[in-house]
């Protein structure tokens, strides 16, 4: 239930790393986006730091460094912008985003960066509120308020701080509504709506029990949402990479279009070779699409970077890479000793992150049991199958296989 509630929060947070959380809003019901190709209005763009091409040119390397997990370099450049624009929310937001990407590779588990993350988002809010109080039609201020409240809500929901998450998400939604006036100015403003268009349809399709709650939501359009997301991924400066990330995840996890997801994933992985999250997602998509040679190479690189203790390479990435290498050694090379070693490492990494309910954990034990059975080591097979039986759903094929073996080998 926690994961479901957290997912609902995260689906509707706006901008950059999260989408907007929708709620009852009659005003929102009147807003629809029918066109992706929009032209900026020069008068409104003038003076916006968010859309300043000189600043974007200066920050391009910094943003790339952040996504490539070169945090120190990126933050040095962000602080340079802060020295020149101390009253603008942009540099504080980027500093907060950098903290966010230190949290992401751990599957949002680490608490190490929470305080500084919230501090930067609070400062972003303070700076943006000062801008908004001077001019309530300032869509740039609304953008940063929606984004910073949305990010804060996302992390609060991950930490089960539901009251804070609810308050922040409601404020995020309020300012998102105001920021929509900037949709025609830049693809940066379109990201949140693209996600909403997709998930406003996807949620009730996949969680029918939530339909009564979602009755007040505006109508979405999944096809349009994907089109908008694709557009922003190609044209957005600050939101481009985040859009590509969500596009990859949607294609893989929701649409089950694995080849298309792989193409997006490859773009991210090649552009950001040191981003552990992008690399492990790429390795998984190569694996499920049957590209074992590439999957093997990427997985070995992940483990090498983990051994070097490169930023972002932690146990979660180790679990992905070790399982893929275990499977390839078991089925492609028939090297059972290497396979067993990798499966045992998968189990170790899963235990380090307290993710014993993950498929990688259970399937590693299952494959160890199968290898032991093939090697005529019934004692080991019995031990491995006992874990599979305990960790698997009773209706699953894994459970039935384990129960059958254990039933037939009671005397061991």
Q: Has residue 35 got a pLDDT over 70? A: no
Taking only the tens place, the pLDDT of each residue in 7-34 is 444 444 433 333 333 322 222 222 233 3
Instruction: Report the pLDDT value the prediction gives residue 128, as an integer from 0 to 100.
Output: 98
Task: Write down the H helix ranges in 38-113.
Answer: 42-45, 53-67, 71-84, 89-103
Spatial distance between the Cα atoms of 3 and 324, rounded to a whole number of angstroms: 25
**Averaged pLDDT, 118-125:** 98
Asked if 350 contacts 358 with a C-beta cutoff of 8 angstroms, the reply is yes
**Does 138 have pLDDT greater than 60?**
yes
Instruction: Give the Cα separation of 406 and 399 in Å (integer).
Output: 11
Can you read off the two tokens belonging to residue 220? Answer: 């979405």
Domain with CATH 1.25.40.10 in the chain: 291-408
Mean pLDDT, rounded, for 43-59: 83
In this prediction the pTM is 0.87
Q: Give the total residue count for the chain.
A: 412
Architecture of the structural domain at 291-408: Alpha Horseshoe (1.25)
- The whole-number pLDDT of residue 61 equals 96
The H or E element that residue 130 is part of is: helix 114-134
Q: How confident is the model at residue 198 (pLDDT cuts 50, 70, 90)?
A: confident
Q: How far apart are alpha carbons 138 and 343 in whole angstroms?
A: 54
Average pLDDT over residues 153-174: 88
Contact at 8 Å (CB) between 188 and 233?
Answer: no
CA-to-CA distance for 292 and 288, rounded, in angstroms? 9
**Across 84-98, 112-126, 196-210, 226-240, least confident range:** 196-210
Q: By the 8 A CB rule, do 350 and 356 touch?
A: yes
Query: Which single residue is written with the structure tokens 């501090």?
Result: 119
Q: Cα–Cα distance between 329 and 323 in angstroms, integer? A: 10
């Amino acid at each position: 239930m926690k994961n479901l509630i957290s997912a609902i929060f995260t689906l509707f947070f706006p901008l950059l790393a999260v989408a907007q959380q929708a709620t009852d809003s009659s005003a929102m019901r009147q807003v629809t986006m029918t066109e992706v190709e929009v032209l900026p209005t020069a008068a409104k763009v003038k003076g916006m730091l968010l859309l300043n091409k000189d600043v974007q040119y200066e920050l391009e390397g910094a943003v790339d460094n952040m996504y490539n997990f070169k945090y120190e370099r990126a933050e040095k450049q962000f602080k340079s912008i802060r020295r020149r624009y101390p009253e603008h929310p942009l540099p504080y937001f980027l500093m907060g985003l950098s903290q966010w990407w230190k949290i992401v590779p751990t599957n949002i588990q680490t608490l190490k960066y929470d305080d500084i993350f919230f501090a930067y988002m609070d400062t972003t809010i303070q700076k943006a509120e000062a801008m908004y109080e001077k001019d309530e039609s300032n869509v740039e201020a609304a953008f940063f308020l929606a984004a910073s409240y949305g990010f804060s809500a996302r992390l609060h929901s991950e930490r089960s701080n539901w009251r804070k998450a609810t308050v922040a998400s409601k404020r995020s939604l309020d300012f998102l509504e105001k920021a929509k006036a900037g949709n025609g100015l830049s693809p940066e403003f379109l990201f949140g709506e693209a996600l909403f268009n997709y998930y406003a349809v996807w949620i009730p399709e996949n969680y029918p029990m939530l339909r009564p709650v979602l009755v007040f939501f505006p109508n979405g359009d999944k096809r349009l949402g994907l089109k908008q997301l694709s557009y922003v991924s190609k044209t957005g400066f600050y939101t481009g990479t985040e859009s590509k990330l969500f596009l990859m995840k949607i294609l893989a996890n929701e649409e089950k279009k694995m080849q298309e997801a792989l193409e997006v994933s490859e773009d991210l992985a090649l552009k950001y070779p040191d981003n552990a999250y992008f690399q492990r997602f790429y390795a998984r998509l190569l694996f499920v699409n049957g590209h074992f040679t590439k999957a093997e190479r990427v997985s070995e690189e992940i483990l090498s970077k983990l051994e070097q203790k490169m930023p972002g390479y932690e146990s979660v990435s180790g679990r992905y890479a070790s399982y893929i290498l275990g499977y390839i050694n078991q089925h492609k090379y028939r090297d059972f000793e290497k396979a067993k070693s990798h499966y045992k490492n998968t189990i170790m990494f899963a235990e380090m992150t307290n993710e014993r309910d993950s498929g990688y954990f259970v399937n590693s034990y299952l494959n160890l049991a199968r290898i032991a059975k093939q090697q005529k080591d019934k004692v080991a097979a019995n031990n491995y199958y006992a874990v599979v039986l305990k960790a698997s759903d009773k209706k699953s094929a894994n459970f039935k296989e384990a129960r059958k073996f254990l039933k037939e080998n009671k005397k061991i």
